[in-house]
Structure 1
Amino acid sequence: MKFGMENSFEVKEKILQSKIAILPIGAVEAHGPHLPLSTDTILAERLSEMLAERVGALVLPSLPYGQVWSLRNFPGSINITNDSLISFLVDIGLSLYDQGFRTWAMVNGHLGNQVAMKEAARVLYDKIPDLKVFYFFYPGMNGVVKDIRETKSVHSTYFHACEIETSIMLYLAGEFVDMNRAINDVPQIGEEADFTPTPWESFTKSAVLGDATIATKEKGKKIVETALEKMVKMLIGGETND
């Protein structure tokens, strides 16, 4: 159910029946020539809708902006700070609790948001420990990626507009992917990028980190279905990881 499409006369009962809110969180940033700027938001929305169906949750209106410091100088990218994002998420969490929600799952489509999401969850834990807060970013995907990836990863953590993210997009929102414009761009990312602020334009002009041309819907399905299975288990079973 889409929370924003409910009305105030009926929504209270639906909150009490579910008590689970899901917030899709994305970003507006460069994703190469074959994916839209709002890729991360689209992915978060589609994944959230699938998750909500499986756990009987209410999907909140999406948060379409994120912390994109690394890509902020690329055409089209819109950046907000971690401090702004943390404050915003804490306010939302407090309001959700007041409305009667007792579980809140933030479904993230953009890795750059994860630090702020985790910090917001910790602040909320200290303020209202009765609200169970999750910050999801494709749980379980690392094991799947090892099995399906055809090319070597350009970085131990980053994946962006590449074989992996493009495959997820093909599965969740293929209508927004232009595979005719997909490229193979494998940048050299120096070790110092893990230890000092490094704008991405220093190592890529396209914002594509790998070979997007070999992305497939089937690869994306394996990643998404694994993530969904784990999220459902955590939301219903009460498991969590720090």
Structure 2
Amino acid sequence: MTDRTRLRDLTGPEIAARAAHEVLFLPLGSIEQHGPHLPVDTDTHIAERFAAAVCARVGGLVAPGYAYGSRSRPISGGGERFPGTVSLSAATHSALVNDLVVNYARHGHRRIVLVNGHFENTAPAVEGVDLALERGADARVLMVNWWEVIGADALDRIFAGDFPGWEAEHAGIVETSLMMHLDPTRVHTDAISPLTVEITPPPYTVLPERPGLVDPSGVLRTAHGSSAAIGEAIFEGAADAIAAVVRTEFGVAGGVER
């Protein structure tokens, strides 16, 4: 069945009729190891699901994203030494965003939302948007990291005041819980260790990346205690928050311009 919100399912004339009137959502992800219990496309899958959920709330179109993200760093993603992590340079990632924004704007898309699921994408993606605007792209672009829109009060409620902190979140409780909610058959729950990781990445960058900066598991802190219920609460709360931001910045309500 054709999904009328998925740009890839539409014809050129159908897209042309909707481009100027609807918000375009572009998910950004990564192919990056997420410990022994989550698939390497975790960031991509979560970004795609958020893009679809927000689109369902405010209306619009979801563009095909791309799976590869900017280079993983030990302090935030485990780094590049783990098998399964395949990354783009910041310059390449920025150039991809640049070209995508220019091309979508050229075809009449005036409101574009980048829904990001990978921390290291943030700066290169913003740079790509800036370059696209300098090239004359006639569009307004909103960049959203899904984890940044969840309020502290919501986290306190979900975690009963014991949220472990975003600095611990790579294949930790939040991402694992989200995947338990969104795609439970791909979560290897038997591989989740109840033990806290033995190595915490240092609060600085050393290059070239050397062994021993990250726990051998590739996890920054244990995912023990994750659940589908936590994942559902985070997903629904973040999707609602992103939708509110889109309405505020782009003046839409249920997909209709105010």
Structure 1-normalised TM-score? 0.87
Confirm or deny that 1:145 pairs with 2:145.
no
Cα distance in 1 between the residues matched to 2:81 and 2:45:
22
> Which residue in the other structure is 2:76 paired with?
none
Count of aligned pairs between the two proteins: 236
- AA partner of residue 12 (structure 1): A
Conserved? CA contact 1:73–1:201, under 8 Å = no
- AA partner of residue 94 (structure 1): V
Tell which deviates more after alignment, 121-130 or 103-112.
121-130
Cα distance in 1 between the residues matched to 2:211 and 2:28:
22
Q: Write 1 or 2 for the structure with the bigger share of helix.
A: 1
Over 3 Å counting, the alpha-carbon distance change for 1:90 and 1:158 in structure 2 is farther
CA deviation after TM superposition for structure 1 residue 215, in Å: 0.4
Confirm or deny that 1:220 pairs with 2:231.
yes
> Which residue in the other structure is 2:123 paired with?
115
Q: CA RMSD in A?
A: 2.4
In structure 1, list runs of 5 or more residues that go unmatched: none
CA deviation after TM superposition for structure 1 residue 193, in Å: 2.7
Superposition map of 1:55-66 within 5 A:
55-66=58-69
CA deviation after TM superposition for structure 1 residue 201, in Å: 4.8
Superposition map of 1:188-199 within 5 A:
188-189=199-200, 192-194=202-204, 196=206
Conserved? CA contact 2:99–2:132, under 8 Å = no
Tell which deviates more after alignment, 102-111 or 4-13.
4-13
> Which residue in the other structure is 1:31 paired with?
34
Tell which deviates more after alignment, 165-174 or 96-105.
165-174
- AA partner of residue 76 (structure 1): G
CA deviation after TM superposition for structure 1 residue 180, in Å: 1.8
> Which residue in the other structure is 1:75 paired with?
83
CA deviation after TM superposition for structure 1 residue 227, in Å: 1.8
- AA partner of residue 97 (structure 2): L
Over 3 Å counting, the alpha-carbon distance change for 1:23 and 1:201 in structure 2 is farther
SS of structure 2 residue aligned to 1:64 = coil
How high is the sequence identity, in percent, across the aligned residues?
24
Conserved? CA contact 1:187–1:209, under 8 Å = no
Confirm or deny that 1:84 pairs with 2:87.
no
Q: 1:49 aligns with which of 17, 37, 52?
A: 52
CA deviation after TM superposition for structure 1 residue 17, in Å: 3.6
Cα distance in 2 between the residues matched to 1:163 and 1:183:
12
Runs of 4+ in 1 over 6 A off after TM superposition: none
SS of structure 2 residue aligned to 1:105 = strand
Superposition map of 1:96-115 within 5 A:
96-115=104-123
Measured against aligned partners, the alpha-carbon deviations of 1:139-191 in whole angstroms (never above 9, x if no partner) come to 323613344447674x763511111111122222223212122224424435x
Structure 2-normalised TM-score? 0.82
SS of structure 2 residue aligned to 1:96 = helix
Cα distance in 2 between the residues matched to 1:156 and 1:212:
13
SS of structure 1 residue aligned to 2:176 = helix
